[in-house]
Amino acid sequence: MRFGQEMTRAEIGTELGYSQMHVSRLLNRTLTHLRTHLLAPA
């Protein structure tokens, strides 16, 4: 939603029933996880 549909955190929160802050935390956690695992040596 954030990158594919270019929605703001507020729009995503409204759509899913979460606060903008909660969406922000979820995005940060997910992006950190992806970076860690994608950049890890094989």
The DSSP annotation for the chain comes to --SSS---HHHHHHHHT--HHHHHHHHHHHHHHHHHHHSS--
Which residues, including other chains, have CB under 8 Å from residue 24's CB and lie 6 or more apart? 9
Q: Is 3 a domain residue?
A: no
Q: Is residue 2 part of a domain?
A: no
Q: What is the pLDDT of residue 37?
A: 92
Assess whether pLDDT exceeds 80 at residue 39: yes
- Domain span at residue 13 reads 9-38
**Residue 21 falls within a domain, yes or no?**
yes
Q: How many domains does the chain have?
A: 1
> Is 34 within a domain?
yes
Tell me the per-residue pLDDT of 8-38, one tens digit each, with 9 for 90 and over. 999 999 999 999 999 999 999 999 999 999 9
